[in-house]
Structure 1
Amino acid sequence: MPNPIKLPEGSVCWPVAALSTAAQNVHHAQTCLHRPRAGDNVVSGVTRWERSYADSCAWIEWDWLEMSEGTVAQADPLNVRSNVLLLDERGRPLLSSRRRATLATLVYLLPWQGPVLDRLRLGDVGPRRTARSGPARARQRALA
């Protein structure tokens, strides 16, 4: 039996067929930096993108890591948090596995790296080391 999808209050429904249009109307809302911990100077953070409606706001957010100077990547491409309920062709909610994959595709379509790199340039994160030891190790450090 599939896991039920738990969404925050104020969820917004999007038909999967409208995903490419939704990607064009979503804008960068904020990017937060996580200060490196002592002994681990890898910079990471969270970025959020939104689409406003008359009475609600759809949002998606995900964690990222600085892999090298000028290069950022998602910490976990299938871990996209959102208040968006995706609906199939019949108007039924997608299974959680398909929802995760579809939201990952939406993130792929967004030009999110630019705003994150701008925030890194403006942010005072102190001395830092990039995650050169590979994505799996970097992901472990970011999630620890």
Structure 2
Amino acid sequence: MTNLIRLPEGSVCWPAAALSSAAQDVRHAKTRVSCARAIDHCTGGTTRWERRQGDATAWVEWDWVEMGAGTVVQADPLNVRSNVLLLDDRGRPVLSSRRRTTLATLVYLLPWQGPVLDELRRSATMRLAA
């Protein structure tokens, strides 16, 4: 019986204890804006932040919605997608519930609203020009 962990292609291991220092190195990669839904006139999208680690790139991404002019929030704070496998102090993978809360904390520490609002302004300007 083997104890090897099989990671999906492109996964990156990251010590959970290094969260606060990792947050300083994570950078905005891209933001996608979705058109407003006719039902609630709500604009939303996805934003991705990345961190280079050796020859791999660790990424986190989540959905957001615009609640009003100048206000964006996560659509679901515990639904952060990532290729990061978080490790405990002994180098073992953390439980799924701890992974979700740790990634949610990382998102909380990031200044992500500014780049999302910038992209919203750019896309609004492009829609008006069209």
State whether TM-score is above 0.5: yes
TM superposition shift of 1:39: 3.9
Which residue of 2 is the match for residue 68 of structure 1? 68
| 2-structure distance, mates of 1:97, 1:82 | 14
Which shows bigger deviation, 52-61 or 66-75? 52-61
Q: Which runs of 5+ in 1 are unaligned?
A: 1-5, 128-144
| 2-structure distance, mates of 1:68, 1:40 | 12
Q: Is the 8 A contact 2:47 2:116 kept in 1?
A: yes
Higher RCO, Cα 8 Å, sep 6+: 1
| 1-structure distance, mates of 2:106, 2:54 | 22
| 2-structure distance, mates of 1:7, 1:73 | 31
| 2-structure distance, mates of 1:60, 1:10 | 13
| 2-structure distance, mates of 1:95, 1:53 | 22
1:34-64: per-residue Cα shift (whole Å, max 9, x none)?
1123344210000000001331100000000
TM superposition shift of 1:7: 6.1
RMSD of aligned C-alpha atoms? 2.1
| 1-structure distance, mates of 2:100, 2:11 | 16
Which residue of 2 is the match for residue 28 of structure 1? 28
TM-score by length of 1: 0.79
Q: Which runs of 5+ in 2 are unaligned?
A: 1-5
Which residue of 2 is the match for residue 53 of structure 1? 53
Identity %: 70
| 1-structure distance, mates of 2:64, 2:21 | 24
More strand by share: 2
Letter in 1 for 2:63: D
Which shows bigger deviation, 9-18 or 106-115? 9-18
C-alpha distance 7-37 of structure 1, shift in aligned 2 (>3 A): farther
Which residue of 2 is the match for residue 3 of structure 1? none
C-alpha distance 67-38 of structure 1, shift in aligned 2 (>3 A): closer
Which residue of 2 is the match for residue 108 of structure 1? 108
| 1-structure distance, mates of 2:44, 2:7 | 25
Which residue of 1 is the match for residue 78 of structure 2? 78
Which residue of 1 is the match for residue 13 of structure 2? 13
Letter in 2 for 1:28: H
